[in-house]
């Protein structure tokens, strides 16, 4: 089966390439903000919805103005791709799958997408448009095919990355009889139906002291000064270290789950609503439930596995896995309980919930009731 995959690498630009990329990022950001303002004003002032063709015509007029002549100094392909991305953002907004598009800031992550006409891939090297030499990419693995598009980005910590979109053949993993239900939590990242517990590493807490020190130093610097920019970079690097550590840990766990199990069942948690709890919001954001579920979903598709999410209101913790009896109430501090129906004693709350999640997930896959 053919599918599109993105392969991300870090690269180190020369001073000339860094200058060109900075101009490209700035032009892409300027076009995004200008067209977004044009769309917003057109709707509120004239009740007109601006489509991709009108936005492209507005960009053409923008390039002809003397004040915005700098837009012609960079490749036109990233600017046009910027309009396509904004059109997709509005499509998701009108379909109620996302919020209204935001204006971009130069303090956050910068990116520019190059189509096949704006770069060349020869002898394992990528050369962008208007660049005299190829990028110095740290190839951690070879590309399986010629990329159709590449996206160059710079994070808040100042690191450069390139993401290559390739069309590859996917092969399903051998079928295995193993199945797993996972119960997500905070003390343990998740507990499987066979009793395995994966500890929550609490990445933010590991770097909390270092991050707090860097943020205190940043708060003392004068706004607009070079020292403040250096201090801001230290804070961004600390946040990047936390994010990279969390992402690497989740990738290893999800890959192991996909390789070992044919069917994986989990809860469909409303993480955006749960982080509104001011007592648990930091811990919930740090654990990364949403990213864990997202990785399981697309990796299961690639590997030919089945991943299913049950209803969030299913009483997985209060229901006895042995007889199906549902407790009227079960406080959060109760970690083990006894079933008054079948007499089972010492029921582990988390393992019982994972077993019920697996049972409900397999019923869903079999076409049973939700």
Residues belonging to the active site: 183, 267, 350
The closest of 260, 248, 291, 249 to 192, measured between CA atoms, is 260
Question: Using an 8 Å Cβ cutoff, are 310 and 357 in contact?
Answer: yes
| Contact between residue 308 and residue 263 where contact means Cβ atoms under 8 Å apart | yes
Q: Please give the Cα distance from 297 to 205 (Å, whole number).
A: 28
Backbone angles phi, psi at 92, to 5 degrees: -65, -35
Two structure tokens written together for 256:
């192991």
Instruction: Report yes or no: 249 and 199 within 8 Å, Cβ to Cβ.
Output: no
β-strand pairing of 149-154 with 137-138: unpaired
Contacts of 85 (CB under 8 A, 6+ apart): 32, 113
At residue 3, φ and ψ (nearest 5 deg) are -150, 160
User: Which of 112, 130, 123, 162 shows the shortest CA–CA distance to 146?
Assistant: 123
With the C-alpha atoms ordered 172, 175, 181, 185, is the resulting torsion angle positive or negative?
Answer: negative
């Amino acid at each position: 089966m053919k599918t599109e995959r993105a392969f991300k690498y870090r690269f180190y630009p020369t001073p000339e390439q860094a200058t060109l990329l900075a101009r490209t990022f700035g032009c892409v950001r300027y076009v995004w903000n200008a067209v977004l303002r044009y769309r917003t004003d057109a709707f509120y002032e004239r009740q007109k919805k601006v489509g991709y063709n009108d936005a492209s015509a507005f960009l053409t007029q923008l390039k002809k103005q003397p004040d915005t002549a700098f837009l012609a100094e960079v490749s036109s392909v990233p600017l046009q791709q910027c309009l396509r991305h904004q059109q997709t953002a509005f499509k998701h907004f009108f379909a109620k799958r996302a919020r209204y598009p935001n204006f971009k800031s130069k303090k956050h992550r910068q990116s520019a997408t190059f189509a096949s006409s704006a770069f060349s891939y020869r002898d394992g090297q990528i050369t962008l448009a208007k660049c005299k030499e190829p990028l110095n990419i740290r190839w951690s693995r070879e590309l399986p095919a010629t990329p159709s598009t590449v996206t160059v980005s710079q994070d808040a910590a100042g690191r450069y990355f390139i993401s290559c979109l390739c069309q590859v053949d996917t092969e399903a993993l051998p079928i295995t009889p193993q199945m797993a239900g996972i119960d997500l939590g905070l003390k343990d990242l998740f507990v499987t139906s066979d009793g395995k517990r994966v500890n929550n590493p609490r990445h933010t807490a590991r770097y909390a002291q270092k991050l707090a020190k860097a943020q205190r130093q940043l708060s003392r610097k004068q706004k607009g000064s070079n020292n403040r920019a250096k201090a801001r970079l230290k804070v961004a690097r600390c946040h990047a270290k936390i994010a990279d550590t969390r992402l690497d840990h989740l990738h290893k766990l999800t890959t192991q789950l996909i390789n070992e199990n044919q069917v994986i069942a989990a809860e469909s948690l409303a993480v955006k609503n749960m982080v509104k709890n001011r007592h648990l919001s930091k811990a919930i954001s740090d654990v990364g439930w949403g990213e864990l579920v997202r990785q399981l979903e697309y990796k299961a598709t690639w590997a030919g596995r089945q991943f299913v999410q049950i209803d969030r209101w299913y009483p997985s913790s209060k229901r006895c896995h042995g007889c199906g009896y549902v407790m009227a109430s079960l406080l959060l501090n109760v970690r083990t309980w006894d079933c008054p129906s079948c007499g089972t004693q010492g029921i582990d709350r988390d393992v019982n919930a994972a077993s019920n999640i697996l049972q409900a997930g397999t019923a869903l896959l079999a076409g049973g009731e939700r």
